[in-house]
C-alpha cells in the first residue's frame, strides 16, 4: 500500500516566513502525522545563516540597499544566498519507517529521492564523494559557505555541488531542507559578506569552482514547476508515496505568524523591519488559503 504525503507549494514568501513555515511544520507534527514535502522560493532574495553562525560576517548595509533579506535558519551550516533556486523541505514524523534518531539514514534516503528526481531532467547527478581538502581550504574553512563543501550523500555533478541540505531533529519529527541551484545568482553571496575586495573575489571564485546549477547542466532555462515535478517524482519512487496537494492548516498558520520575527536578523542580530512583513492575509494567499 502506498503512503500518503502532504504536498505544499508556497511561493512568494519572504525569508523569515519561509523559515517559520518549516519550523511550524516540524514543531506541530505528531509522531503519526502525515509526512510533508514542500517546495518554495524566496521573494525577495535572502541570505540565510546557520543557527549558530555569527551575523557579524554579513554586510547588512549592502543587503538593505539591495533589498536582500537576512534571516537565520533553524538548521546549522554556513551562509547561503537564496536567489535562483528551488528550495525543498521535508518533515518526517518520528513514527515514520524512515525516521532515524541519527542523521545519516534519513539524509541518505532523502538524497536518493533528490538524485532520482533530478536524473529525470536528464542530468548526470550523483552523490558527493568524501575527499581531502587543500591546505588553503582548511585554513579558510570557518569562512566557507554551505555551498563551498560537500558532505556524504549530497548531490553533485563531476565534483561540483548542486544541492545543499541540512537537517534538524525536533521532539516528534525531523526537518530537512535544502537549496537546489537553478541559476548562478548564488555566487553573489560574496557581495553580501564583509571583507576586502580580494577576500570577496576569493569567495566568488571558490563558489564558482565548486558549484554548478541546473540551467548550466541542462543548457536551457528550467522553471520552478519543471524542477519541482521532477523532484516530486523522485520522492514518489523512493518512498512509495502518493502526494496530496494541501495548504497550511490553521494551527500551522498561527505558528508561522508567531515564529516569523524570530528568524529575521539585522546587524546586531536582532529583528527589525528590514524585510517586508508578511501579513496574515498575504500568508494565507501564498499558502493557498485565500
Residue among 19, 80, 146, 155 flagged as catalytic: 146
For domain 3-268, give its CATH number from 3.30.930.10, 1.10.3720.10, 1.20.1050.140, 3.30.43.10: 3.30.930.10
pLDDT tens digits, 36-76? 999 999 999 999 999 999 999 999 999 999 999 999 999 99
* pLDDT score at 157: 95
* Three state DSSP letters for the chain: CCEEEEEEEECCCCHHHHHHHHHHHHHCCCCCCCCEEEEECCCCCEEEECCCCCHHHECHHHHHHHCCEEEECCCCCCCEEECCEEEEEEEEECCCCCCCCCCHHHHHHHHHHHHHHHHCCCCCCEECCCCCCCHHHHHCHHHCCHHHCCCCCCEEECCEECEEEEEEEECCEEEEEEEEECCCHHHHHHHHECCCHHHHHHHHHHHHHHECCHHHHHCCCCCHHHHHHHHHHHHHHHHCEEEEECCCCHHHHHHHHHHHHHHECCCCCCCCCCCCCCCHHHHHHHCCCC
Note if 63 is an active site residue.
Answer: no
* pLDDT score at 1: 75
The answer to whether the bond into 44 is cis (omega within 30° of 0) is yes
- Residues of the chain falling short of pLDDT 50: 132-135, 137-142, 144, 148-150, 269-270, 272-280, 290
pLDDT tens digits, 229-254? 999 999 999 999 999 999 999 999 99
Domain residue ranges in the chain: 3-268
**To which residue does cell 553571496 refer?**
189
Taking the mean position of all CA atoms in its chain, how far away is CA 97? 24
The pTM assigned to this predicted structure is 0.88
* pLDDT score at 279: 45
Whole-angstrom distance, CA of residue 6 vs CA of residue 21? 14
**In this structure, are residues 204 and 198 in contact, taking their beta carbons and an 8 Å threshold?**
no
Amino acid at each position: 500500500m502506498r503512503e500518503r504525503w502532504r504536498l505544499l507549494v508556497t511561493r512568494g514568501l519572504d525569508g523569515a516566513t519561509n523559515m517559520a513555515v518549516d519550523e511550524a511544520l516540524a514543531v506541530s507534527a505528531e509522531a503519526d502525522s502525515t509526512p510533508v514535502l514542500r517546495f518554495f522560493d524566496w521573494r525577495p532574495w535572502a541570505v540565510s545563516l546557520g543557527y549558530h553562525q555569527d551575523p557579524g560576517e554579513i554586510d547588512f548595509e549592502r543587503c538593505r540597499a539591495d533589498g536582500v533579506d537576512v534571516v537565520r535558519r533553524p538548521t546549522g551550516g554556513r551562509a547561503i544566498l537564496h536567489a535562483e533556486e528551488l528550495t525543498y523541505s521535508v518533515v518526517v514524523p518520528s513514527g515514520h519507517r524512515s525516521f532515524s534518531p541519527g542523521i545519516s539514514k534519513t539524509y541518505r534516503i532523502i538524497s536518493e529521492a533528490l538524485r532520482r528526481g533530478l536524473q529525470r531532467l536528464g542530468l548526470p547527478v550523483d552523490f558527493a564523494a568524501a575527499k581531502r581538502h587543500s591546505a588553503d581550504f582548511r585554513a579558510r574553512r570557518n569562512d566557507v559557505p554551505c555551498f563551498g563543501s560537500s558532505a556524504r550523500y549530497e548531490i553533485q555533478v563531476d565534483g561540483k555541488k548542486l544541492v545543499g541540505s541540512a537537517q534538524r531533529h525536533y521532539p516528534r519529527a525531523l526537518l530537512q531542507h535544502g537549496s537546489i541551484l537553478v541559476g548562478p545568482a548564488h555566487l553573489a553571496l560574496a557581495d553580501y559578506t564583509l571583507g576586502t575586495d580580494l577576500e570577496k573575489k576569493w569567495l566568488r571564485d571558490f563558489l564558482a569552482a565548486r558549484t554548478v546549477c541546473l540551467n548550466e547542466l541542462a543548457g536551457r532555462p528550467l522553471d520552478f514547476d519543471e524542477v519541482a515535478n521532477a523532484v516530486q517524482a523522485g520522492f514518489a519512487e523512493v518512498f512509495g508515496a502518493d502526494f496530496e496537494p494541501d495548504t497550511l492548516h490553521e494551527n500551522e498558520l498561527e505558528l508561522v505568524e508567531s515564529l516569523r520575527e524570530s528568524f529575521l536578523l539585522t546587524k546586531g542580530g536582532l529583528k527589525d523591519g528590514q524585510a517586508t512583513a508578511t501579513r496574515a492575509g498575504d500568508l494565507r494567499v501564498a499558502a493557498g488559503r485565500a
